[in-house]
């Protein structure tokens, strides 16, 4: 409330460093913004334990990486397994996500956070997209609960690490890593044993140099929601294909499964 507003104002006028928070869908995403982590030492929340379909959590690696960067884990950290998330989505368990939004907002209020960053919604992975929807809703909830406006950044996980839409470039944070910073980032990535195949694939695909630029830009969820009014997200097309091939029992579909959760989350912001 008024207290929060005053703290926020004090930081702006007295140039006290902003308090930052990161919220990611899976442990390991933080590697994409490793330099930003080192610079700001955010409070880090994470939806799943990264256990994937094989059920192998990567919580220890995630904690080790945070320790190296100086960031710290928040109260929501690797809260559930990936299998549980998919089950909740398919079962339409929007209460779980609504509850998490409120919890996230209260964590940020208690820690007097000014700036948040996290996954972008890219239509590639439902946990990434839900994470973004929850961040946006939690930012709105903070404003509803105490009047504070948090700055809300996103970064890509599937797209190029150095990509930034032209219309958002002016308000983006673009960090150019020097040789040492890039070496630290690459060392942290190779220390993340569970992500070895993904890291190798990403370097092969984009080249190491692409990771020498970190772009965090204002949340752009609206443009993706508008896009998915016209065409199905990639995960839905992929899931349907897998069902056809007999490799998946059911596919997560945007209109049937995701949109009702998004609506519930948005409705609950001012509850």
Give the residue, chosen from 8, 20, 23, 26, that forms a contact with Zn ion under the rule CB under 5 A.
Answer: 26
Of 26 and 257, which CB lies nearer to Zn ion in the complex structure? 26
Site for Zn ion in 199-238 (CB under 5 A): none
Q: Do the strands 213-218 and 173-176 form a parallel or antiparallel pair, or are they unpaired? A: antiparallel
Binding status of residue 132 toward Zn ion by CB under 5 A: no
Q: Which of 149, 145, 121 is nearest to 261 (CA)?
A: 121
Of 89 and 109, which CB lies nearer to Zn ion in the complex structure? 89
Q: Which segment (20-28, 60-68, 147-155, 224-232) binds Zn ion by CB under 5 A?
A: 20-28
Q: Is 114 left (phi over 0), alpha (psi -120 to 50) or beta?
A: alpha
Of 114 and 194, which CB lies nearer to Zn ion in the complex structure? 194
- Strand order of the β-sheet with 20-24 is 72-80, 43-48, 20-24, 115-119, 151-155, 213-218, 173-176
Q: Which residue is nearest to Zn ion (CB)?
A: 26
- Contact between 63 and 30 under an 8 Å Cβ cutoff? The reply is no
Smallest distance, Å, CB 246 to Zn ion?
26
- Contact between 226 and 259 under an 8 Å Cβ cutoff? The reply is no
d(CA 31, CA 185): 7
Q: Which segment (22-30, 36-44, 82-90, 194-202) binds Zn ion by CB under 5 A?
A: 22-30
- Three-state SS at 203: helix
CA distances from 162 to 140, 172, 174 (A): 28, 12, 8
49 phi/psi in degrees, rounded to 5: -90, 5
Each residue 239-268 as x (binds Zn ion by CB under 5 A) or -, in order, gives: ------------------------------
Q: Which segment (8-16, 21-29, 70-78, 244-252) binds Zn ion by CB under 5 A?
A: 21-29
Smallest distance, Å, CB 29 to Zn ion?
6
Q: Which segment (23-31, 34-42, 58-66, 209-217) binds Zn ion by CB under 5 A?
A: 23-31
- Three-state SS at 28: coil
Of 26 and 148, which CB lies nearer to Zn ion in the complex structure? 26
Site for Zn ion in 166-185 (CB under 5 A): none
Residue numbers at the binding site for Zn ion (CB under 5 A): 26
């Amino acid at each position: 409330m008024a207290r929060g507003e005053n703290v926020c104002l004090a930081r702006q006028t007295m140039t006290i460093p902003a308090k930052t928070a990161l919220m990611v869908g899976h442990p390991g995403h933080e590697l994409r913004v490793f330099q930003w982590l080192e610079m700001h030492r955010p409070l880090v929340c994470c939806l799943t334990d990264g256990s994937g379909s094989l059920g192998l959590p990567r919580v220890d690696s995630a904690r080790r990486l945070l320790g190296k960067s100086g960031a710290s884990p928040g109260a929501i950290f690797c809260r559930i397994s990936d299998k549980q998330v998919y089950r909740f989505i398919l079962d339409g368990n929007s209460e779980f996500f609504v509850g998490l939004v409120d919890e996230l907002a209260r964590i940020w209020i208690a820690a007097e956070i000014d700036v948040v960053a996290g996954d972008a919604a890219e239509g590639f992975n439902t946990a990434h997209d839900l994470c973004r929807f929850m961040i946006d809703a939690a930012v709105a909830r903070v404003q509803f609960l105490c009047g504070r406006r948090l700055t809300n950044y996103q970064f890509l996980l599937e797209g190029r690490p150095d990509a930034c839409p032209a219309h958002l470039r002016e308000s983006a944070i673009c960090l150019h890593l020097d040789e040492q910073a890039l070496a630290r980032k690459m060392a942290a990535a190779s220390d993340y044993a569970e992500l070895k195949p993904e890291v190798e694939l990403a370097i092969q695909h984009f080249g190491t140099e692409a990771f020498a630029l970190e772009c965090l830009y204002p949340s752009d969820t609206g443009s993706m929601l508008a896009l998915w009014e016209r065409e199905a997200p990639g995960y839905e097309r992929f899931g349907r294909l897998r069902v056809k091939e007999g490799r998946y029992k059911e596919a997560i579909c945007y209109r049937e499964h995701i949109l009702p959760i998004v609506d519930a989350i948005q409705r609950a912001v001012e509850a």
